[in-house]
Structure 1
């Protein structure tokens, strides 16, 4: 049965691959990113996209208008968009922190708040975090803003699962290890991850479609490295 799915951060990497995968399975996908062009080029009738900035409050009204006009309800929201900053802490400015948190925390929160009225008890919100945001995990210098923001959405997920446990939807968060994406290459030039964007997209897509039957308010660590 086809689902109505919203995905953020879809112009490249994991988000782009997820749009392609889920649309090819017959689901209706709203692909949101600041640059809508890459997704617009995909020849699928069941993909909708428009330029969307998580940091622009007025853009959320476009999402509401689309849902009301085209779908009426949303089955799955995948908060995939993220901003990765690799910079020594002493050089990380107030504005740097603000930008990272605006996308990685405030944007996630506002997207959930916007879509929630259209979700049902068996709907599913999946937020993409990072192993760097998991307490007790291995940490890397230069990622103070990024990893702490990813820790924030883990706690946010747990809180929302509790707050909406009677009415739904389900909320879960995936802490990803390194994935070979353009974002990783920009932050860590030359680093090679052993999982491709497509492989991770396959895992997340399957999780988003089915895991709400088994999990709510859970953090799953999606990483094959030790530690």
Structure 2
């Protein structure tokens, strides 16, 4: 049984991941602004309804882990994401700030908070996007989103180096198109060949075993473009 923190659990991949881990007997701290009704009453899921873009609210996670999990975290899955789809000339600095607060700053701050709770064998998985991969195809209107996903790739590579002597592993999964609400927001009407549940199955196994084979790596998990 592992203690697992997952962000962005109100829908899509994060929602499916929380249920799958819980059904396998792991203890889940599900982080999202909205709590799915399916999580209520599940003895393996604890829900924290917080806005991860607000630094002070992330301290509730630190308090929970200290008090309820004996200061031990085995896996963090940084899954939450914010997408603003606008032509670049219409993107304001506030738009960029909103996206980066969720997609970059919250990833960094939550990881920093949890460093004392991570130990040898702990695995931190950041969900990025093919849009953040250098040399990949890029799409108009996603300047803030895709650049933020590139930033967390570099952050993860750096943390893998900084904490390798402590046995804490950091990896990134750069996802291609997955049939989620976020994809529909970016590409209305586009049907991806992979469902949220199917991608969650892949991430589930990678989070549990990927750190045996990878550290500081970016895996491109995509069969199509976009």
Residue deviations 1:4-45 (CA, integer Å, cap 9, x gap): 00000000000000000000011000000011244533x420
Across the aligned residues of Structure 1 and Structure 2, the Cα RMSD in angstroms comes to 1.2
Q: 1:49 maps to what in 2? A: 47
Contact 2:126/2:171 (<8 A) preserved: yes
Structure 1 pair 108–39 and aligned structure 2 pair: CA distance change class (3 A): farther
Provide the rounded CA distance (Å) in 1 between the counterparts of 2:85 and 2:99: 11
What is the CA-CA distance between 1:183 and the residue it aligns to? 1.3
How many residues were matched structurally? 225
Q: 2:137 maps to what in 1? A: 138
Provide the rounded CA distance (Å) in 2 between the counterparts of 1:25 and 1:9: 20
Q: 1:40 maps to what in 2? A: 39
1:58 aligns with 2:52: no
Q: 1:149 maps to what in 2? A: 148
What is the CA-CA distance between 1:58 and the residue it aligns to? 1.5
TM-score normalised by the chain length of structure 1: 0.96
SS at match of 2:47: strand
Provide the rounded CA distance (Å) in 1 between the counterparts of 2:49 and 2:216: 30
Return 5+ residue gaps in structure 2 as ranges. Answer: none
SS at match of 1:58: helix
Provide the rounded CA distance (Å) in 1 between the counterparts of 2:208 and 2:37: 24
Q: 1:71 maps to what in 2? A: 69
Structure 1 pair 36–225 and aligned structure 2 pair: CA distance change class (3 A): same
Q: 1:188 maps to what in 2? A: 187
Contact 1:181/1:196 (<8 A) preserved: yes
1:6-17 equivalences in 2 (<5 Å): 6-17=5-16
Provide the rounded CA distance (Å) in 2 between the counterparts of 1:170 and 1:99: 28
What is the CA-CA distance between 1:214 and the residue it aligns to? 0.6
Q: 1:159 maps to what in 2? A: 158
Return 5+ residue gaps in structure 1 as ranges. Answer: none
What is the CA-CA distance between 1:140 and the residue it aligns to? 0.5
